[in-house]
Amino acid sequence: MTKPIRTRLEILGKKLGMTQYFNQEGDAIPVTVLELAENIVTEIKTPVKHGYAAVQIGANIKKDKHLNKPKLGNLKKKNLPNFGFLKEYRVQPAELESYKIGEPVDSSKILNPNDLVDVSGISIGKGFQGMVKLYNKRRGPKSHGSKSYRQPGSIGAHTFPGRVLPGKKMPSRMGNENVTVRNLKVIEFDKSKKLLLVRGAVPGVEGTLLTIRPAIKKWNP
């Protein structure tokens, strides 16, 4: 028995920054402003030809010299702009007919006010961090002769197993990894300016490329 494929519409956008917004009741709510990318369909993968149904979309238009020859040739052949970023998402085979190469994805399906979305992106890099910041470990005492202020503590037993177990949490680089924030409420969507306002914070610095999807809890009611 095959598992049903998870199909979720995906659109790409850019984080512009945070501000606040006064709703109809007059309450100030914190919002993040996202600018939607071009989201033009660059390729359609069919079960007959590729073995699965998927749609590839592009964002982040670049100059000719900033793309390598294979990518450039692929896009030029289809008469598409120079997308620096391509992303693919699975769809149901029956839905494929509604997509056409060179046309933007219909984002109005998920971006209505009060809809919930999941937003993924690369988080801000925090550098090499210790156990306290990275894994919320507790620090040692600051006084009474203690010197283990922010030490990692014991990392395992002695003779048995005589080694550090794989996967042991240690101080390491923090951030700069893919993070998803779930169930952000859409506050407003300006279709002409392609500006999307969601309640709350999203990962990454301003200018980060983000993936916006319908909230997973809503996906399969």
Partner 1 sequence: MNPKITELISKNIKKELHNIHVGDTVKVTVRIKEGTKERSQNYEGTIIKIKGGGLNKTFTVRRVFQGVGVERVFFLHSPKIEKVEVLRSGKSRRAKLYYLRERAGKATKLKENLFASQAASLPKEVIPEEGKLVEVTP
User: Which residue of 33, 36, 80, 186 would you call a contact of partner 1, by CB under 8 A?
Assistant: 33
Instruction: Select the span of 17-25, 123-131, 144-152, 155-163 touching partner 1 (CB under 8 A).
Output: 17-25
**Shortest distance (Å) from residue 116 CB to partner 1:** 22
Q: Who contacts 70 (Cβ-Cβ below 8 Å, separation ≥6)?
A: none
* Rounded Cα distance, 130 and 108, in Å: 44
**Shortest distance (Å) from residue 28 CB to partner 1:** 6
Instruction: Select the span of 2-10, 25-33, 42-50, 166-174 touching partner 1 (CB under 8 A).
Output: 25-33
Residue 25 tokens read as 């009741």
User: Which residue of 1, 2, 3, 26 would you call a contact of partner 1, by CB under 8 A?
Assistant: 26
If the CB atoms of residues 35 and 115 are measured against partner 1, the closer one turns out to be 35
User: Which residue of 7, 16, 61, 130 would you call a contact of partner 1, by CB under 8 A?
Assistant: 16
CB atoms near residue 139 (< 10 Å): 13
**Shortest distance (Å) from residue 29 CB to partner 1:** 11
CB atoms near residue 129 (< 10 Å): 14
String of contacts with partner 1 for each residue 175-194, x by CB under 8 A: ---------------x--x-
Residue 196 tokens read as 């999307």
Cβ atoms 126, 172 nearer than 8 A = no
Residue 80's identity, in one-letter code, is L
**Shortest distance (Å) from residue 22 CB to partner 1:** 6
Strands 83-90 and 54-61 come out as antiparallel
Cis peptide before 161 (omega within 30 of 0): yes
Instruction: Decide: is 200 part of the binding site for partner 1 (CB under 8 A).
Output: no
Among positions 65-104, residues that touch partner 1 (CB under 8 A) are: none
User: Cα-Cα-Cα-Cα dihedral of 166, 170, 172, 175, to 10°?
Assistant: 90
Residues that bind partner 1 (CB under 8 A): 16-17, 19-22, 25-26, 28, 33, 35, 190, 193, 195, 197, 206
